[in-house]
Structure 1
Amino acid sequence: MAEQTAPNGDTDENGPIKRWPMESNGYGDDKAQDCERQRSINHHDHHPPQSGSSGGLCARLINLFHRAATPILASSHPLPENPSRLRAVGQWFLLPPSGKVAAVLVTLLIFAVWWATLISLTKNEALPGGSLYPILILFIGAWCGGYIIKPTTLPPLLGMLVVGCLLANVPGIDVAKDIEPAWSSAARSIALTVILTRAGLGLDPVALERLSLLVLRLAFLPSLAEVLVDGVAARLILGFPWTWSFLLAFVLSVVSPAVVVPSMLGLSEKGYGLNKGIPTLVIAAVSLDAVLAITGFGVMLSVCFSQGDLAWIVCKGPLEALVGIAFGSTFGVSLWYFPQKSSKNLSLFRSVLLIGGGLLTIFGSKAINWSGSGPLACLSLAFVAAYRWKDEYRGTGKKMPVEDVTGVLWMVFEPLLFGLIGSAVDLSTLDADTVGMGIGVLFMGLTIRMCVASLVALRSDLNLKERFFLPLAWCPKATVQAAIGAVAYDTAVDKGETDLIPNGKKVLTIAFLAILITAPIGSAMIAIVGPKLLHRTVEESNQQGSANPALDLDDEKGGNCKKRDPTTKL
């Protein structure tokens, strides 16, 4: 390759400085250009501009500044070929910053810019005492909690849950308790929409068809077994009436989609369990499990407080599930044809319609008091729409652009969702007399659930390790407990049923215990044990330990600028 003389005419004692042609990566700032600029800076450091009659003072000031800044410039302290860990970390603090120091500074800058923007738009609402301020603090704190946990093998949501709980219960920093319930509920619903949409896009139709019977068995049998054991245990240990015992049992039996789905998507993106369709199996079953538990809870709540027609309530649950699947599937089929494939903004329109349709199913079902149909409708909508969309990208090695859109949304709503779930745990409601007995009831039910889940998978093509994994993935409890755990207590207070208020408070306490214990342990078990028990069929993605790229702020591998051999072709 021919040499080129520097365009600015720089020379040294050996003559003009040679420049080697560089290929651009299309962004105008690739590593070769960075290194070339670094060598140019070093050259100018050793050969300062000569001061003439005009501009001499300015040149001397610039030269003085360069000399003063040299000790803290990264270009003055190039890393050796194999630097020690301490030496590499020290490089982060030089100018310009790099590594994790640069990542933290960028993150702080992003938060500061958006916070200032919100203050400009809403005035006092984003300042202390405003309605947006506690949500902002919770979001930032939960994000930091996830980022701190990320380097470990534990899932980031564990850090988010802990931070949310601290911001709601520690005096002096308990800003989360000031979040308006309407804002909290809306944020959780939007996050649930994003979760279920991502889950629907990630379902494998071939595996789902092959595992349809196993999905039904896994969705219903372990939950029914746990309900039975929890109901009897609550009667014998807590002394509840039979109706309240089974009301508590349905509260405890439901598995949290907000914990299980992201954890399974994280394994799926790394290729674990895809050969047997295990992520699809668990994600599909968890939605049906929630419908069963919410339906049973509604029935028992009506019995406890004699609300509504019991026969209608019993029939309404399955009907909600069928209506949700039918509506979501119909909407999904319509997205095969709208927008038209010839549209210049096809991916944009598809993303808007998909997310908008998901929000419609979640919020619309609540508006008509058919909330049980919303999650299944959202899941069905994304699954059916993606069933045809995937044909356009099959064999290309590319993901659907819609998946990238939902991934960006998840960056925002993951810390918000789990921070809000953690903030829902009110430690002041934990009655010491109830805690021990409640934990006993909880673990008795979980033990039976895990045993039944293992037995359910016996008549399948899953091997021993995969059958052992299913019960572990079938434990976390969070969102539904946070949503319905306080309903019985609030109902007793609203109706003035003073004799039932203690029972409602015990249900609330045990529901919070279930969140505190099972959400972090269950998610950690999925993240840690999953890769050891499940077969990996594809290359691991670049996202290590988290499905949320917003938590991955490290430099690209090989991003350090090293001196290049001038004889090497660029």
Structure 2
Amino acid sequence: MHTTESKTESLDNKDFVTSTSTEILSDPNSNVYEETILSKTEETKPQKKMRMHIPSPLKGTLNKFITNGVILLMIWCITWSLSGPAVLPGGNLFGLLIVFYCAIIGGKLLQLIRIPSVPPLPPLLGMLLAGFIIRNVPFISKHVQVHNTWSSTLRNIALTIILIRAGLGLDAKALKHLKGVCLRLSMGPCIMEACSAAVFSHFIMKLPWEWGFLLGFVLGAVSPAIVVPSMLLLQENGYGVEKGIPTLLVAASSLDDILAITGFNTCLSIVFSSGGILNNIVSSFRDVLIGVLVGTILGLFVHFFPSKDQSKLPLKRAFLILSMCVSAVLGSQRTGLHATGGLCTLVMSFIAGTTWSEEKIRVQSFVTAAWNVFQPLLFGLVGSEISVSALEPNTIGVCVATLSLALCVRILTTFLLVCFAGFNFKEKIFIALSWIPKATVQAVLGPLALETARRTAPHLEAYSKDVMTVAFLAILITAPNGALIIGIWGPKILTRHYNPNKIKLHLSALEHH
């Protein structure tokens, strides 16, 4: 009986709870409903710990600047604990660190200089001036020193990255459409400027003929670092796209650099060789054949290895092409085959780019990231090679005269070579004037001649310093002027098409020239 009564009571209690809960749910405005919900929420809600939030006293750009500065300081401390005196004033690592960050700051400061209706100046000019100031301020130059071997190796690596970008940047379809005028524009002005610079430097600067041609090929290269971004900006805004002017100049700039670097390496082999002229020419052709053959083999290798089923394919391909090309360039310098490494790099990167097709863009992004590291080092080190105290009073005058006359020949040659390519008079003038900027290749080839003379023929160092001075002045004069000419005159001279994304390039007229 007791058990039956207890069960009955429990059932009554359950019915009471059920009815009560039903009443509460049916009347959500009741206080019981609110108290029940709150009590359940408080029971189920996890208890949060009280945290003290202290606002940062500095935010924005200043906070970022201090954070990055402390990170760099910690990197320096770790490096000092590993290498010791090398990161102290007077050491190689300390000198490279100062040159690198001063070059970056110089480029950033130049970008901050904005004049209304005037395009910004290229940051590489600020990097060049930063290195120049480091060398010519006595207190700074005493503590910032970089060994010639380190400087030469870094410049050669920068040259390798330039050649890789040139090879990967060659568009086979654009070259096919613009083959005639593109070949004329890439070869004619470069060769004519090299020959005219050789003549002018021989009679004005009193350079030997072989040094004159070496200087000519240093000056003969146009700078993709100036031309390509400026042309892409014009193309995005629709200027000149109807006749393919930006595409033409972008494609021709890579071929122009290839020809100039090949000619420079050939002249370098002749200048620093002890054999006869005929032997030097034969050895130069031998180097060219070796470079093309090795580049073709390596280009085919990176097409099949790594295979497409592997992970992180663009990163592996970028590492392979960078490591192989750097080894080829530095190895050719070590063995005396100066023209081999550059040609091997160009051929290998071009063949690899044509076989990679869609994946080439991602590989180019990794190569561009490597260039962003070496660009400040390159121009900073080039600027630090120029010492005002070592220049003779009349050196700058004769160098500027030689450079100016060679540029006039280049402008006239360019104008004549595009006369029969379907462009009007204003467009011909624009193409001729936009083909004068010099920066990247000159920053590599000028110091290379100086370093080779220091290492193998010290009695020729005076000639190599003249070549270095002309290369420095060429960057200083033509880089900002070329960028301003393209940026200011381009929108005024070129015809604008308002739908550049929908336009079809009418290149049939250019194919026949």
Q: TM-score range by the shorter chain?
A: 0.7 to 0.9
The alpha carbon displacement at 1:150 in A equals 1.9
Describe the SS at the equivalent of 1:254: helix
The alpha carbon displacement at 1:455 in A equals 1.9
> Deviation per CA, 1:160-190, whole angstroms, max 9, x where unpaired?
1011111122100015862111111111111
The alpha carbon displacement at 1:144 in A equals 0.8
Counterpart CA distance in 1 for 2:102 and 2:157 is: 20
**Is 1:417 aligned to residue 378 of structure 2?**
yes
Q: How does 1:244-323 map to 2 (within 5 A)?
A: 244-255=208-219, 260-267=223-230, 270=233, 272=235, 275=244, 276-299=247-270, 307-323=274-290
Which residue in 2 is equivalent to 1:479?
A: 444
Describe the SS at the equivalent of 1:132: helix
Describe the SS at the equivalent of 1:197: helix
**Is 1:148 aligned to residue 112 of structure 2?**
no
Which residue in 2 is equivalent to 1:465?
A: 427
Which residue in 1 is equivalent to 2:367?
A: 406
Q: How does 1:135-534 map to 2 (within 5 A)?
A: 135-152=96-113, 153-174=120-141, 178-238=145-205, 240=206, 244-255=208-219, 260-267=223-230, 270=233, 272=235, 275=244, 276-299=247-270, 307-390=274-357, 392=358, 400-461=361-422, 464-465=426-427, 468-476=430-438, 477-485=442-450, 493-494=458-459, 505=462, 507-531=463-487, 532-533=489-490
Describe the SS at the equivalent of 2:208: helix
Check 1:335–1:252 CA distance in 2 against 1; reply closer, same or farther (3 A cut). Answer: same
Counterpart CA distance in 1 for 2:143 and 2:265 is: 27
The alpha carbon displacement at 1:308 in A equals 0.8
Check 1:490–1:437 CA distance in 2 against 1; reply closer, same or farther (3 A cut). Answer: farther
Which residue in 2 is equivalent to 1:125?
A: 86
Check 1:141–1:248 CA distance in 2 against 1; reply closer, same or farther (3 A cut). Answer: same
Structure 2: which 5+ residue stretches go unaligned? 1-37, 39-48, 114-119, 502-513
| 8 Å Cα contact 1:164-1:423 kept in structure 2 | yes
Check 1:255–1:377 CA distance in 2 against 1; reply closer, same or farther (3 A cut). Answer: farther
The alpha carbon displacement at 1:205 in A equals 1.3
Counterpart CA distance in 1 for 2:431 and 2:204 is: 30
Describe the SS at the equivalent of 1:341: coil
Check 1:385–1:118 CA distance in 2 against 1; reply closer, same or farther (3 A cut). Answer: same
| 8 Å Cα contact 1:131-1:180 kept in structure 2 | yes
Check 1:426–1:219 CA distance in 2 against 1; reply closer, same or farther (3 A cut). Answer: farther
- Given the two structures, how large is their TM-score scaled by the length of structure 1? 0.67
Describe the SS at the equivalent of 1:128: coil
| 8 Å Cα contact 2:407-2:436 kept in structure 1 | no
Check 1:105–1:455 CA distance in 2 against 1; reply closer, same or farther (3 A cut). Answer: farther
Counterpart CA distance in 1 for 2:64 and 2:435 is: 33
The alpha carbon displacement at 1:456 in A equals 2.3
With 102-111 and 429-438 compared, the bigger mean Cα shift is at 102-111
Which residue in 1 is equivalent to 2:77?
A: 116
Check 1:509–1:283 CA distance in 2 against 1; reply closer, same or farther (3 A cut). Answer: same
| 8 Å Cα contact 2:183-2:252 kept in structure 1 | no
Percent identical: 26
Counterpart CA distance in 2 for 1:117 and 1:248 is: 48
Which residue in 1 is equivalent to 2:33?
A: none
> Deviation per CA, 1:483-503, whole angstroms, max 9, x where unpaired?
215756876645xxxxxx7xx
Q: Which fold has the larger relative contact order, with Cα–Cα distance below 8 Å and residues 6 or more apart in sequence?
A: 2
Runs of 4 or more above 6 Å deviation: 489-492, 534-539
Counterpart CA distance in 1 for 2:301 and 2:232 is: 28
The alpha carbon displacement at 1:216 in A equals 4.4
Report the residue type matching 2:449 in the other structure.
Answer: I
Counterpart CA distance in 1 for 2:325 and 2:458 is: 34
Higher Cα radius of gyration: 2
Report the residue type matching 1:480 in the other structure.
Answer: L
Counterpart CA distance in 2 for 1:135 and 1:332 is: 33
| 8 Å Cα contact 1:446-1:475 kept in structure 2 | no
Counterpart CA distance in 1 for 2:451 and 2:334 is: 20
Check 1:168–1:386 CA distance in 2 against 1; reply closer, same or farther (3 A cut). Answer: same
Check 1:123–1:326 CA distance in 2 against 1; reply closer, same or farther (3 A cut). Answer: same
With 191-200 and 105-114 compared, the bigger mean Cα shift is at 105-114
Aligned length, in residue pairs: 430
Counterpart CA distance in 2 for 1:175 and 1:377 is: 39
Structure with more helix by fraction: 2
| 8 Å Cα contact 2:382-2:472 kept in structure 1 | no
Check 1:217–1:325 CA distance in 2 against 1; reply closer, same or farther (3 A cut). Answer: farther
| 8 Å Cα contact 2:419-2:428 kept in structure 1 | no
Counterpart CA distance in 2 for 1:487 and 1:344 is: 42
The alpha carbon displacement at 1:136 in A equals 0.8
The alpha carbon displacement at 1:336 in A equals 1.9
Check 1:270–1:333 CA distance in 2 against 1; reply closer, same or farther (3 A cut). Answer: farther
Check 1:104–1:424 CA distance in 2 against 1; reply closer, same or farther (3 A cut). Answer: same
Counterpart CA distance in 2 for 1:102 and 1:278 is: 43
Structure 1: which 5+ residue stretches go unaligned? 1-15, 17-54, 74-94, 394-398, 495-500, 540-570
Check 1:277–1:434 CA distance in 2 against 1; reply closer, same or farther (3 A cut). Answer: closer
| 8 Å Cα contact 2:411-2:435 kept in structure 1 | no
RMSD: 3.3
| 8 Å Cα contact 1:469-1:529 kept in structure 2 | no
| 8 Å Cα contact 2:110-2:121 kept in structure 1 | yes
Counterpart CA distance in 2 for 1:356 and 1:208 is: 28
Counterpart CA distance in 2 for 1:215 and 1:176 is: 48
Check 1:298–1:346 CA distance in 2 against 1; reply closer, same or farther (3 A cut). Answer: closer
The alpha carbon displacement at 1:482 in A equals 2.0
| 8 Å Cα contact 1:195-1:261 kept in structure 2 | no
Describe the SS at the equivalent of 2:92: coil
| 8 Å Cα contact 1:237-1:437 kept in structure 2 | yes
Check 1:271–1:403 CA distance in 2 against 1; reply closer, same or farther (3 A cut). Answer: farther
Counterpart CA distance in 2 for 1:218 and 1:322 is: 25
Describe the SS at the equivalent of 2:304: coil
The alpha carbon displacement at 1:522 in A equals 2.4
Counterpart CA distance in 2 for 1:362 and 1:538 is: 40
The alpha carbon displacement at 1:426 in A equals 2.4
| 8 Å Cα contact 2:302-2:352 kept in structure 1 | yes
Check 1:107–1:213 CA distance in 2 against 1; reply closer, same or farther (3 A cut). Answer: farther
